[in-house]
């Protein structure tokens, strides 16, 4: 893989896994997802036989995987700017558009794949604890397909916001606000101020939750509209973040 | 060759570099001098594609740095030794650089040994001293064995052994025909290693000449004379420029020692000391940049 984009992607891969924080995020997300999966399995084993399969039981763990990889992707995309490492990075890869594509692709692919593997593992844990629920392969593919879109979109959104803010704290607050806090707060407020409902439905977090659980508080939301909303946020964040990376001075 | 043409860089209302033009030739070490805030680092950052010029161009062997696809094979640079992820090991830092430019991993170990980091390469950068970070930055610059090298204050934090090493490194690179641009505040270092100097102040070019020419530009030779009859000698020197050191000692500018000795002999002024004053680059630098100092201490900078 000796093309420019290939070499840059290899460097990004090495950059992610050569710092301790990546391993900490991966293990912390694994602990949360597998821990929740284990609790769901134990809960199911102690009561009457559940209706769904192991994959239905694993669905809520996708929510925890999402927030684990949001934080991880945010830190990955801001680390160069907070440490000053962007100076050597741009010396080694001065084609900033190439760096943007490689960075966004590798961070999103890495974190999303880890998230999917963990949710799959959580499903298998539930199945191991309650074999009666079953774990049909066809349903696993459906779960993974649904989560893959949400996790990848979430990671790309985090990368875009990270590149835009160039600050880990600022990016984390922004990402968590868009994905968790604002959708929740606006949903509550929209019970009183109904005009806020469309704004709440337009938050990326509302779309992500709808796509994970297949339902939500907003009647007009569909799978297609949720996907379009999420993609629009991702494109917007990557456009603005990419613009700052490509057009701006390296670290000012 | 590095070519900077009509370069201007502004940050808001601050004009960091102002219509700067100079070229750095291959086969020699070029010193890049100027007081704090003169615009040296900004110029280097623009040359390396890190900051965008407001106007003007900066090219390396005819190409903009931002257009290079394997830049480490064409240009090596140390701009800021502190600008590295502290959680990565030195070796991992270089490994990322090597991967990005298709450089074999064996070369990483070679440059680690070359800069003297040795086993410290396996330690995390946050445990490194400034001198070790400088060495790591120099290792990254050497990774692709490039024909053009830029170093911004490379001897900061280096011990005496490191300074001697880097001095011979620069000399060796220039002798191999490479282009070497080094910014430094250590004039004695520059005088020992540079063949040519580019001096800037407040973002503008002040001097671009060989070391010898810069020293010559101070006004020619100076001769220190000590005699108990200094007044007699000063009168005998006629229109020559004389600086009075004390009642027995003077400095004569523009005449050589032999001429002064003969004038003193004719005037009956016994000479107790007669020596040409060696001009230093530091004196030349201070003389050239006197009006261009951006940041001064309350007592003056010199």
B219 contacts: CB under 8 Å, gap ≥ 6: B253, B254
Q: Domain limits of chain A?
A: 4-247
CB contact under 8 A, A252 and B95: no
For chain B, what is the domain count? 2
In chain B, beta strands by DSSP E = 2-11, 14-24, 28-33, 55-60, 75-78, 148-152, 179-183, 196-201, 204-210, 222-226, 241-246, 249-253, 273-277
* Orientation angle between helical segments A4-17 and A96-129, nearest 10 degrees: 50
Asked if residue B226 and residue B207 are part of one domain, the reply reads: no
Q: Is residue B81 part of a domain?
A: yes
3-state SS record for chain A: CCCHHHHHHHHHHHHHHCCHHHHHHHHHHHHHHHHHHHHHHHHHHHCCCCCCCHHHHHHHHHHHHHHHHHHHHHHHHHHHHHHCCHHHHHHHCCCHHHHHHHHHHHHHHHHHHHHHHHHHHHHHHHHHHCHHHCCCHHHHHHHHHHHHHHHHHHHHHHHHHHHHHCCHHHHHHHHHHHHHHHHHHHHHHCCCCCCHHHHHHCCHHHHHHHHHHCCCCCCCCCHHHHHHHHHHHHHHHHHHHHHHHHHCCCCC
Instruction: Name the token pair of A183.
Output: 């959708």
Q: Which residues of A touch B92 (CB under 8 A)?
A: 14, 18
Q: What is the rounded distance in angstroms from the CA atom of residue A3 to the CA atom of residue B100?
A: 10
- Domain span at residue B240? 222-278
Nearest CA in chain A to B47: A91
Interchain proximity B88–A18, CB inside 8 Å? yes
Residue B301 lies inside a defined structural domain of this protein:
no
- Looking at residue B176, its pLDDT comes to 95
Taking residues B60-82, report their average pLDDT: 95
Quick check: B302 pLDDT over 50?
Answer: no
Is the minimum CB–CB distance between A87 and chain B shorter than 8 Å? yes
Same-domain check for residues B239 and B155: no
Q: Are A175 and A230 in contact (CB under 8 A)?
A: no
DSSP E strands, B71-178: 75-78, 148-152
Average pLDDT over residues B188-201: 86
DSSP β-bridge partners for residue B179: B28, B148
**Rounded average pLDDT over B111-133:** 94
Do residue B46 and residue B18 come from a single domain?
Answer: yes
The answer to whether the beta carbons of residues A154 and A209 sit under 8 Å apart is no
The verdict on B79 and B203 lying in the same domain is yes
pLDDT band at B218 (very low <50, low <70, confident <90, very high): low
Q: Is it the case that residue B296 has pLDDT exceeding 60?
A: no
Note the pLDDT of residue B294.
Answer: 58
The pLDDT of residue B187 is above 90? no
Average pLDDT on B80-108 reads 96
Mean pLDDT throughout B229-244? 89
Share of chain B above pLDDT 90, in %: 66
- DSSP per residue over B16-53, as a string? EEEEEEEEE-TTEEEEEE--TTSSHHHHHHHHTTSS--
Nearest-Cα residue of chain B relative to residue A13: B96
> Residue A82 — left, alpha, or beta (φ > 0 → left; ψ -120 to 50 → alpha)?
alpha
Helix axes A223-247, A96-129, angle to 10 degrees: 140
Q: Are B117 and B132 in contact (CB under 8 A)?
A: yes
* Percent of chain B residues topping a pLDDT of 70: 92
Which chain B residues have a beta carbon less than 8 Å from that of A84?
A: 80, 82-84
Residue B140 CA to residue B124 CA, distance in Å, equals 16
Q: Do A84 and B83 touch (CB under 8 A)?
A: yes
Chain mean position to CA A87: 27
First to last CA, chain A: 33
Which pLDDT does position A51 carry in this prediction? 82
Mean pLDDT of chain B: 89
| Chain B touched by A197 (CB under 8 Å) | no
Q: Is pLDDT at B281 greater than 90 in this prediction?
A: no
Q: Two tokens at A28?
A: 């912390």
Give residue-wise pLDDT tens across range B153-177: 998 888 888 889 999 999 999 999 9
**B99 token code pair:** 């991967």
Per-residue pLDDT band for B178 (boundaries 50, 70, 90) equals very high
Whether B203 has a pLDDT exceeding 80, the answer reads yes
Chain A residues near residue B87 by CB distance under 8 angstroms? 19-21, 83
In a domain, B136, yes or no: yes
For A7, the closest of B88, B89, B100 (CB atoms) is B100
Whether residues B131 and B251 share a domain: the answer is no
**What pLDDT is recorded for position B279?**
66
Q: Is A249 on the interface with B (CB under 8 A)?
A: yes
Q: Residue A225 has which token pair? A: 């509209």
Residue range B130-157, pLDDT digits in tens: 999 999 999 999 999 999 999 999 988 8
Which residues in chain A have their CB less than 8 angstroms from residue B102's CB? Answer: 2, 7
DSSP state of B125: G
CA dihedral defined by B181, B184, B189, B194, rounded to 10 degrees? 20
Distance from the Cα of residue B98 to its chain's centroid: 28
Residues B116 and B257 in one domain: no
A46: exposed, middle or buried (Cβ count in 10 Å: 0-12, 13-18, 19+)? exposed
Banded model confidence at residue B69, pLDDT cuts 50, 70, 90: very high
The reported pLDDT for the residue numbered A88 is: 96
Statement to judge: residues B152 and B252 lie in one domain: no
Distance from the B281 Cα atom to the nearest Cα atom in chain A, whole angstroms: 31
- To test the contact with chain B by mutation, choose from A12, A16, A91, A168 the residue with the greatest count of B C-beta atoms within 10 A, namely A91
Judged by CB atoms closer than 8 Å, whether chains meet at B85 and A83 is answered as yes
**In CATH, what number is assigned to the domain containing residue B83?**
3.40.50.300
Mean pLDDT (whole number) for B41-48: 96
A1 to A4, A110, A136, A159, B49: CA distances (angstroms): 9, 18, 37, 24, 26
Residue B266's CATH number: 3.30.70.100
Residue B292 is given by DSSP the state -
B144, HSE (Cβ side, Cα atoms, 13 Å): 24
Asked whether residue B126 falls in the same domain as residue B237, the answer is no
What contacts A24, CB < 8 A, 6 or more positions away? none
- Closest chain A residue to B89, measured at CA: A18
State how far the Cα of B256 lies from the Cα of B273, in Å rounded to an integer. Answer: 14
* Nearest-angstrom CA–CA distance, B159 and B157: 7
Burial class (CB in 10 A: 0-12, 13-18, 19+), B97: buried
Could you say which of B69, B87, B99 has the minimum Cβ distance to residue A14? B99
Kindly list the residues from chain B whose CB atom is less than 8 angstroms away from the CB atom of residue A251.
50, 83
- For residues B63-78, give the mean pLDDT: 96
Residues B130, B61, single domain; the answer is: yes
Contacts of A137 (CB under 8 A, 6+ apart): none
Mark whether B136 and B258 lie in a shared domain: no
Separation of alpha carbons B98 and A244, rounded Å: 26
Q: Which residues of chain A are within 8 Å of residue B58 when distances are taken between CB atoms?
A: none
**Residues near B225 by Cβ (< 8 Å), separated by ≥ 6?**
B233, B249, B250, B251, B252, B260, B264, B271, B273, B274
What distance in Å separates the CA atoms of residue B217 and residue B215, rounded to the nearest whole number?
Answer: 5
pLDDT at B297 over 60: no
Any bridge partners for residue B288, and if so which?
none
* Residue B55 covered by a domain: yes
Kindly report the nearest CA distance between residue B251 and chain A, in angstroms. Answer: 49
**pLDDT over threshold 70, residue B300:** no
User: Does A84 contact B77 at a Cβ distance shorter than 8 Å?
Assistant: no
Tell me, what's the pLDDT at B217? Answer: 63
> If chain A, 252 residues long, is cut into consecutive pieces of 10 residues, what is the mean pLDDT of each piece?
89 96 96 96 85 89 93 96 95 96 97 95 95 88 90 97 97 96 90 88 93 81 93 98 94 78
Of B211, B233, B263, which residue constitutes the final position of a domain?
B211
Evaluate if residue B6 carries a pLDDT over 50. Answer: yes
Contacts of residue A35, defined as CB under 8 A and 6 or more positions apart, other chains included, come to none
The helix (H) or strand (E) run that includes residue B297 is none
pLDDT of B292 > 80? The answer is: no
Tell me what pLDDT residue B299 has: 45
User: Quick one: B231 and B263 in the same domain?
Assistant: yes
């Amino acid at each position: 893989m000796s093309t420019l984009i290939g070499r840059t992607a290899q460097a990004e891969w090495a950059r992610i896994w050569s710092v301790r924080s990546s391993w900490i995020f991966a293990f912390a997300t694994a602990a949360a997802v597998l821990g929740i999966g284990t609790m769901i399995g134990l809960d199911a084993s102690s009561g009457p036989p559940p209706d769904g399969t192991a994959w239905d039981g694993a669905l809520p763990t996708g929510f925890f995987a999402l927030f684990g990889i949001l934080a991880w992707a945010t830190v990955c995309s801001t680390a160069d700017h907070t440490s000053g490492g962007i100076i050597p990075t741009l010396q080694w890869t001065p084609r900033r558009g190439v760096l943007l594509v490689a960075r966004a692709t590798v961070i999103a692919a890495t974190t999303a794949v880890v998230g999917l593997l963990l949710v799959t593992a959580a499903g298998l844990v539930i199945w191991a604890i309650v074999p009666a629920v079953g774990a049909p392969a066809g349903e696993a593919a459906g779960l993974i397909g649904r989560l893959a879109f949400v996790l990848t979109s979430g990671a790309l959104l985090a990368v875009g916001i990270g590149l835009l803010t160039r600050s880990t704290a600022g990016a984390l607050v922004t990402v968590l606000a868009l994905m968790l806090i604002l959708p929740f707060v606006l949903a509550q407020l929209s019970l009183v101020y109904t005009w806020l409902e469309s704004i709440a439905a337009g938050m990326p977090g509302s779309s992500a939750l709808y796509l994970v659980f297949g339902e939500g508080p907003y009647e007009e939301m569909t799978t297609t509209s949720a996907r379009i909303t999420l993609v629009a946020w991702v494109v917007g964040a990557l456009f603005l973040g990419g613009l700052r990376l490509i057009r701006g001075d390296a670290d000012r | 060759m590095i070519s900077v043409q009509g370069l201007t860089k502004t940050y808001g209302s601050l004009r960091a570099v102002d219509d700067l033009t100079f070229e750095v030739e291959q086969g020699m070490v070029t010193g890049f001098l100027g007081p704090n805030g003169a615009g040296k680092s900004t110029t280097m950052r623009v040359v390396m594609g890190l900051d965008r010029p407001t106007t003007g161009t900066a090219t390396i062997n005819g190409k903009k740095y931002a257009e290079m696809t394997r830049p480490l094979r064409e240009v090596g640079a140390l701009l800021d030794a502190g600008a590295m992820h502290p959680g990565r090991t030195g070796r991992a830092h270089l490994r990322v650089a090597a991967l990005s430019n298709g450089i074999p991993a064996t070369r990483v170990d070679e440059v680690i040994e070359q800069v003297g980091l040795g086993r410290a390469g396996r330690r995390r950068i946050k445990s490194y001293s400034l001198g070790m970070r400088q060495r790591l930055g120099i290792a990254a610059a050497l990774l692709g064995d490039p024909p053009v090298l830029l170093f911004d204050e490379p001897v900061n934090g280096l011990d005496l052994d490191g300074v001697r090493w880097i001095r011979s490194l620069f000399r060796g690179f220039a002798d191999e025909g490479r282009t070497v641009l080094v910014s430094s505040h250590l004039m004695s270092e520059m005088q020992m290693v540079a063949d040519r100097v580019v001096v800037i102040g407040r973002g503008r070019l002040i001097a671009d000449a060989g070391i010898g020419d810069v020293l010559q530009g101070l006004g020619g030779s100076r001769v220190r004379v000590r005699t108990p009859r200094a007044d007699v000698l000063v009168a005998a020197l006629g229109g020559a420029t004389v600086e009075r050191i004390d009642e027995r000692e003077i400095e004569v500018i523009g005449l050589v020692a032999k001429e002064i000795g003969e004038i003193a002999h004719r005037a009956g002024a016994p000479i107790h000391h007669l020596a040409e004053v060696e001009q230093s680059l530091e004196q030349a630098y201070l003389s050239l940049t006197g009006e261009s100092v951006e940041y001064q201490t309350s007592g003056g900078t010199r």
